[in-house]
């Protein structure tokens, strides 16, 4: 596959996904955070702080090669996506909380992704740091491909809510197709070593996914967060926006090998999140909702954008 074609095609593909995410967000999704600070703060702490620590420990434990180690850390830094909203809805989580977390994470990742990625490059791939690091110019690329389409989508929704509603289903379908294409492209781009990489990262990505889902559920519950919000947190933390990690690895860092963990994770996280969600939802009871959050039915219908 022509690498220049891949590098040229992936940013617009990710832009469509992030634009679709923006169509599902409003400014209320950000202001709602102030009315439920505890649940949001715990979920964000798990997402931004605990997950990179967990990924770092697993990389050390599994002794991954440097570039795959960087890929795991990039995956850990990538935010949750709107697919998490869908899983939360299916398993009786608080979708309103998911939408708010997705909104905040979409902004935070333009800071956290470069920080975690640069740390990983300097620690695991120091010899290639000058080529791989996200310096100022590359950080601007992260902002361009991640944040700007989200803001445009929000602006379109604000000015043309009818159009945003009509585009909901087409964007959902396009996003699923695009994620599948991104995963396939990633695998083909480095197909010579594909079987070896799947063996290398299949186990670690499975363990990381299960730990992410469990952390997102158990930590909030330990702090007294009601079950619906804990389910929402679990899905937000365990269902990553792999498209961001894959696109940044191939187009910004210019190395398909770094994208392999995210591509494998994208394949595994759906069945794992489904099984995990089914397990925890069976245990859920009529737990009192956080009165600061609107009911899930009041949230924007979730869009299965990765």
Average pLDDT, the chain: 81
Please state which of the four CATH numbers 3.40.50.300, 1.20.1530.20, 1.10.340.30, 1.10.10.10 is assigned to the domain occupying 3-268.
1.20.1530.20
Average pLDDT for residues 258-271, to the nearest whole number?
90
Rounded Cα distance, 193 and 195, in Å:
6
Single pTM value for the model? 0.80
Average pLDDT for residues 143-157, to the nearest whole number?
84
- Tell me: pLDDT of 214 over 90: yes
CA dihedral 252, 73, 185, 168 (to 10 degrees): -90
Share of the chain above pLDDT 70, in %: 80
pLDDT digits (tens, 9 = 90+) for 170-181: 877 777 787 777
pLDDT digits (tens, 9 = 90+) for 63-113: 999 999 999 999 999 988 778 888 888 898 888 888 888 888 878 888 888
Q: Where are the alpha helices (DSSP H) in 78-193?
A: 83-90, 95-124, 129-132, 136-159, 161-189
**pLDDT score recorded for residue 44:** 93
Rounded Cα distance, 121 and 175, in Å:
30
Residue 187 and residue 263 in contact, taking contact as beta carbons nearer than 8 Å: yes
Kindly give, in sequence order, each residue whose CB lies less than 8 Å from that of residue 120, ignoring residues fewer than 6 positions away.
69, 70, 72, 73, 74
- Domains of the chain: which residue ranges? 3-268
Rounded Cα distance, 265 and 267, in Å:
5
**pLDDT score recorded for residue 34:** 77
Three-state secondary structure call for residue 80: strand
């Amino acid at each position: 596959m022509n690498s220049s074609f891949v590098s040229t095609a992936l940013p617009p593909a990710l832009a469509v996904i992030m634009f679709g995410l923006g169509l599902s967000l409003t400014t209320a999704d950000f202001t709602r955070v102030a009315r439920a600070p505890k649940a949001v703060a715990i979920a964000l702490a798990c997402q931004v702080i605990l997950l990179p620590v967990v990924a770092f420990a697993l990389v050390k434990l599994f002794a991954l090669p440097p570039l795959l180690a960087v890929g795991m850390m990039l995956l850990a830094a990538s935010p949750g996506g709107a697919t998490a909203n869908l899983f939360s809805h299916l398993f009786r989580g608080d979708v309103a909380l998911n939408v708010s977390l997705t909104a905040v994470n979409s902004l935070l990742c333009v800071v956290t992704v470069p920080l975690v990625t640069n740390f990983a490059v300097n620690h695991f791939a120091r010899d290639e740091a000058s080529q791989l690091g996200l310096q100022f110019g590359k950080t601007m690329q992260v902002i361009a491909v991640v944040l700007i389409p989200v803001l445009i989508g929000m602006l379109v929704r604000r000015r043309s809510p009818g159009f945003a509603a009509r585009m909901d289903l087409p964007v959902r379908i396009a996003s699923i197709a695009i994620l599948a294409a991104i995963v396939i492209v990633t695998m083909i781009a480095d197909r010579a070593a594909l079987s070896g990489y799947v063996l290398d990262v299949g186990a670690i990505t499975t363990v990381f996914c299960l730990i992410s889902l469990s952390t997102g559920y158990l930590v909030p519950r330990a702090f007294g967060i009601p079950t619906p919000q804990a389910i929402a947190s679990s899905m937000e933390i365990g269902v990553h926006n792999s498209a961001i990690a894959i696109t940044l690895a191939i187009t910004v860092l210019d190395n398909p090998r770094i994208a392999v963990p995210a591509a494998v994770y994208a394949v595994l996280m759906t069945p794992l999140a489904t099984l995990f969600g089914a397990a925890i939802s069976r245990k859920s009871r009529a737990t009192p909702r956080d009165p600061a959050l609107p009911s899930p039915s009041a949230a924007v219908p979730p869009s299965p954008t990765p």
